[in-house]
Structure 1
Amino acid sequence: MRRRATQAQWIAAGTIVHSTAMAGRARAGRRVRRRGGTGVLQVRRYTADDCDDTIAIFLAAIREVASRDYSPAEIEAWAKVEDRAAWAERRSSRPTFVAEHAGRVIGFSDLEPDGHLDMMFVHPANQGIGVASLLLETVEEEARKQGIGRIFTEASLTARPFFERRGFSVIARQSVEKRGQRLTNFRMEKFL
């Protein structure tokens, strides 16, 4: 049985120092590993057991990382999951991938059938070690497998530089409403 770590344990563990040398290409249904000084990052398909971990990562990433670019009121409006069952259904309804390190889920991403990358979040304690890059490589490989030639997303102010470094272009800056707050994000795309 896989041991679950709490959000406090993730934070207490600190940032993992690791190399981002690829040991394999991302393929749906197969583990992809990156070897590092303190362990291996693995990407696998989401399972129902991952629901609470992905919610915790989503909330922590917004509250602790995106809070550098958004106001407290915007963070409060954005960082909510009001219906756990609806969250679980969304994750299960499309290819969703989770990144693990030492048996803990530390990031996740997904891909909708039209090429929309709806979510990509990495736990704050694991930022900057290649988790998002590995997840994006996995999403891109899944898109190619499905014959999708274009991936698009709505990137936050925080995520925009990451996506630009990986070949995405800004289509438009936009202001979206979340629970009475207006948040700036960017429609972005990448042709595969």
Structure 2
Amino acid sequence: MTPRAGPNLALRPMLPDDIPLLAEIFRASVEELAVEDYSDGQIEAWTETANDLDAFGKRLSGQLTLIATHDGAPVGFASLKGADVIDMLYVHPAAVGQGAATTLIDALEKLAAARGAKKLTVEASDTAHDFFRRRGYTAKSRNTVLRGDEWLANTTMEKSFGGDAAAAGATLQ
């Protein structure tokens, strides 16, 4: 059974005042959830991308960014770049397993379909790979990304939309 948003889990658009908290969620997620997949140096290099709050905020503000809240408090976020690229998906470790990531991706998939996307692409970290695979994303290529002095591996994954996803997205227009 796939977790779904309950009465205490909700989505809302990102606001400029959310940027510092989203940077904290990003850092906590990487530092605590990626330890089995990446070295300490890789994690440090990855989390440093949130140290420049202006750049981090500009990146999220330039995309459709949704925040998952639990009892009104932000617990995760995801962003859609253009119509068809999931750029970021991060959930605070304390909220993992409560449906936030699923709720965020469900929403982005519907919004992407409503924007006319025929597929969604994500560069999934090794930590997130299985989450996306279970949702029907297939691996297309293996990548290495330079962050600071560290190389990080990820996998480009895609999910094509069938008639049902496109029809569901069309109702959002």
Cα deviation, residue 82, structure 1? 3.1
What runs of 5+ residues in structure 2 fail to find an aligned partner? 162-173
Name 1:136's counterpart in structure 2: 105
Name 1:165's counterpart in structure 2: 134
What runs of 5+ residues in structure 1 fail to find an aligned partner? 1-18, 22-33
Show the 5 A alignment for 1:34-45. 34-35=5-6, 40-45=8-13
Q: What is the SS of the residue equivalent to 1:44? A: strand
Aligned length: 159
Show the 5 A alignment for 1:18-167. 20-21=3-4, 34-35=5-6, 40-80=8-48, 81-167=50-136
Q: Which has the higher helix share?
A: 2
The whole-number CA distance in structure 1 between the counterparts of 2:119 and 2:139 is: 13
Cα deviation, residue 114, structure 1? 4.3
Structure 1 segments (4+ residues) deviating >6 Å: none
Q: TM-score, normalised by structure 1?
A: 0.79
Q: What is the SS of the residue equivalent to 2:85? A: coil
Cα deviation, residue 174, structure 1? 1.4
1:116-148 Cα deviation digits (max 9, x unpaired) = 111000000001111110000010011011111
Sequence identity (%): 36
8 Å Cα contact 2:66/2:78 also seen in 1: yes
Pairing partner for 1:187 from 139, 156, 163: 156
Cα deviation, residue 20, structure 1? 2.9
AA matched with 2:3: T
Q: What is the SS of the residue equivalent to 2:117? A: coil
